[in-house]
Chain A
Amino acid sequence: MSKNNTSKTFQYKAKAAAEKKAAFGEDLDLNKYSREGDKHPYEKDPAALPRETKETMLAAGIILDNPGQRSGTFLQLDNTPVHFSTQQEGVEVMALSQAIDKYNWLPDYMWKAQSVDADKYTANVELHDSDGYFIRALPGQKTIFPVQACLYLEKSKLVQNVHNIIIAEEGSELHIITGCASGSREEPGLHIGVSEFFIKKGAKVTFTMIHTWNPEIAVRPRTTTIVEEGGLFMSNYLLMKPVNNLQMNPTARCVGEKSTVRFNSILVAGKGTSLDIGSRVLLEAKDARTEIISRAITIGGSIIARGYIEGDAPDVKGHLECRGLILGEKGMIYSIPELKGNLAGIDLSHEAAVGKIAEEEVEYLMARGLTRDEATAAIVRGFLRVDIEGLPPMLSAELRKAVEASEKEVM
């Protein structure tokens, strides 16, 4: 992406924040990662990618062979967008760099939702030649099938800087499935992904993100969403595979009346995995609604599960639910639900629970004839099953499939 197209102010702010530690999570030394790497060639036919790459992407929900049930595809290898295409009219999918060349208004959206100087990671994205995806649903357009986007980290010791802009114009409906994955099973790397969502009046966006990293990868997504009047943003996040260190705290701002945000997260941390994952929703307009649901399982890893809802306008309503399950002897879950109300007439609530599987529940299932292992598996499977209201059946089925595929690692 051309730096000329971003304002000097952003560059200035980013430089000032280049060493700024993030509010949460381990402070990473960015100098340990390289920006250098070969540019990858554009792939007109993504099915032509190597079989192993396609299989890894498939595990993250990205279908490259006969992607009939997708309305668009975006692929990025390391720091190069290698494919983008659309199969449905009214939906635009392209590299951000190309979109900036195409639309002179697009810079107005850059760093509009997410602060460029939030921390060293956002600054790093601005200070380097970062590309990413641009996905836009035109006014009134409703996608039937989801757009799929894959951010794939292939080269070891690389920092992958990504900047994504997603715009759902008025009255549109957009479903996105994003798979983030890495090629190597052992090599370290760093993924920094800035995503800015703009949900215009009456628009609906579901964003389903599946992470399939490796035990050496560090990840720092930075996401902010702005939801206008009557808009709906639904984020579903699934992380069940090992990762070294992942910290994110996506924020959604309900700036329009009767706007709605839902965050659902399913997190599994094995030994060696450290997660600090939260969701923040700011209810800034009358009658805005939110629900944050997080399910966390540790099988030896460490999970900080945050949730924050702030009510700043009359008649807003929010509920936060963090549930954590500790399987095995080791592992840590630190659940931090926070509610802040700034005026009367708001309705915010939370429930949080962390513990092992209740013996009483296991025995109840055993009294029906299940063995201890079967009973435990049924409870864990049930714990991971989050029924997501409003998610299209096809995406629900894909999410369920992804959970089931990873279940045996939990058991």
Chain B
Amino acid sequence: MLKITDLSVAVEGKEIIHDINMTIGTGETHVLFGPNGAGKSTHLMAIMGCPKYKVTKGTIFFKDKDITHLSVDERARMGIGMSFQRPPVVRGVKTKDMVAACLKGTGDGETIARLAERADLQDFMERDINYGFSGGEIKRSELMQLLAQKPQLTLLDEPESGVDLVNIALIGEMMNDLLEKNCPIPERNCMGLIITHTGHILDYVNARTGYVMCDGTIGCVGDPHEMLATIRERGYNECIQCFLGRIPLHE
């Protein structure tokens, strides 16, 4: 279980998210909606433990352990994995080396080849990680690494952005592998938290809880499909007016 209590996070001294509460039970996948700049990525980065994202208040518990001040690699080794929205290019570090690092010695060349095939990235394994990759290739590469890493909590930051309609089904399938969609919920061991703008990904994953985040706070919690329908119909302006009680900035 992931339990976040009254979490506030600052970046370079400026508080971006405020008093967030969130509980994701084992086997559950939750979805985070919100307009650009709402603080969604900051929230995920803070859960992952990236040092630039400073927790100023509150706690993060994962598997009943307080991880609020653990380093990013300690969290990764505890079973948290993240698909980054814009991962950096690391020159000289080959994609296959990254997958091998994620496997932590639990697989061999054959395992890596199988994962490459699953992600349709066979021709990319000898390339430097993310170097010259298209948006869709980056997303597939991120998911391939996570499939090797086998995290218990998967954080996905806009996994469908930049992905064409042909590849979105592949992305959806890989996410389902990660989140054990084909297992009954009581038997699942994995959790997921997904940021999505378009909601396309909801066609492929079983998400049971949705959140709308605006201005660094969570205003609504509910059924993600209903939320998405409302957002598609009325946009985020209604959310902003509803729970922040202000006129959206761009109006």
Residues in chain A within 8 A of chain B (CB atoms): 323, 358-361, 363-372, 374-375, 378-379, 381-385
Q: Are A367 and B88 closer than 8 Å at their CB atoms?
A: no
Q: Are A382 and B93 closer than 8 Å at their CB atoms?
A: yes
Q: Are B71 and A366 closer than 8 Å at their CB atoms?
A: yes
Secondary structure call for the B interface: mixed
Residue of A nearest to B98 (CB): A368
Q: Which residues of A are found within 8 Å of B102, using beta-carbon distances?
A: 368-369
- Nearest Cβ on chain B to A203's Cβ, whole angstroms: 30
One of A360, A369, A374, A384 near B92 (C-beta < 8 A) = A384
Q: Are A364 and B76 closer than 8 Å at their CB atoms?
A: no
Residue of B nearest to A366 (CB): B73
The yes or no answer to B104 lying at the interface (CB within 8 A) is yes
Chain B CB within 10 A, most for which of A359, A363, A374 = A363
> A157 CA to B77 CA in the complex, in Å?
55
Q: Are A383 and B91 closer than 8 Å at their CB atoms?
A: yes
A–B pairs, 10, beta carbons within 8 Å:
A323-B91, A360-B88, A361-B90, A365-B93, A366-B73, A369-B76, A370-B73, A378-B97, A379-B92, A382-B94
Q: Are B84 and A364 closer than 8 Å at their CB atoms?
A: yes
> A360 CA to B53 CA in the complex, in Å?
12
The yes or no answer to B128 lying at the interface (CB within 8 A) is yes
The yes or no answer to B72 lying at the interface (CB within 8 A) is yes
Contact residues, B94-143 vs A (CB, 8 A): 94, 97-98, 101-102, 104, 128
Residue of B nearest to A323 (CB): B91
> A358 CA to B77 CA in the complex, in Å?
22
> A35 CA to B103 CA in the complex, in Å?
58
One of A359, A360, A371, A385 near B73 (C-beta < 8 A) = A371
Q: A361-B90, A378-B93, A384-B92 are in contact. Are A366 and B84 (CB under 8 A)?
A: no
Residues in chain B within 8 A of chain A (CB atoms): 48, 50-51, 71-73, 76-77, 81-82, 84, 87-88, 90-94, 97-98, 101-102, 104, 128, 145, 149
A-B pairs, top 3 by smallest CB distance, nearest first, are A382-B92, A366-B73, A382-B93
- Given A364-B84, A378-B90, A378-B101, 8 more A-B residue pairs with CB atoms under 8 Å apart are A366-B71, A367-B50, A368-B98, A371-B73, A379-B90, A379-B92, A381-B93, A382-B128
- Nearest Cβ on chain B to A117's Cβ, whole angstroms: 41
One of A366, A369, A372, A379 near B93 (C-beta < 8 A) = A379
- Nearest Cβ on chain A to B125's Cβ, whole angstroms: 14
Q: Which residues of B are found within 8 Å of A385, using beta-carbon distances?
A: 92
Q: Which residues of A are found within 8 Å of B97, using beta-carbon distances?
A: 378, 382
Q: Which residues of B are found within 8 Å of A384, using beta-carbon distances?
A: 92
Q: Which residues of B are found within 8 Å of A370, using beta-carbon distances?
A: 73, 101
Q: A363-B50, A363-B51, A378-B97 are in contact. Are A369 and B88 (CB under 8 A)?
A: no
Q: Are B92 and A383 closer than 8 Å at their CB atoms?
A: yes
Q: Are A367 and B93 closer than 8 Å at their CB atoms?
A: no
> A23 CA to B65 CA in the complex, in Å?
64
> A381 CA to B91 CA in the complex, in Å?
10
Q: Are B92 and A367 closer than 8 Å at their CB atoms?
A: no
Q: Which residues of A are found within 8 Å of B77, using beta-carbon distances?
A: 369
Residue of A nearest to B94 (CB): A382
Q: Which residues of A are found within 8 Å of B73, using beta-carbon distances?
A: 366-367, 369-372, 375
> A174 CA to B148 CA in the complex, in Å?
44
Chain B CB within 10 A, most for which of A358, A359, A366, A372 = A366
Q: Are B104 and A369 closer than 8 Å at their CB atoms?
A: yes
Q: Which residues of B are found within 8 Å of A364, using beta-carbon distances?
A: 84, 87-88, 90
Q: Are A365 and B81 closer than 8 Å at their CB atoms?
A: no
> A382 CA to B51 CA in the complex, in Å?
23
Chain A CB within 10 A, most for which of B50, B71, B88, B90 = B90
> A385 CA to B81 CA in the complex, in Å?
28
> A370 CA to B100 CA in the complex, in Å?
11
> A359 CA to B102 CA in the complex, in Å?
19
Q: Are A368 and B76 closer than 8 Å at their CB atoms?
A: yes
Q: Are B92 and A381 closer than 8 Å at their CB atoms?
A: yes
Q: A378-B101, A382-B128 are in contact. Are A367 and B72 (CB under 8 A)?
A: yes
Q: Which residues of A are found within 8 Å of B92, using beta-carbon distances?
A: 379, 381-385
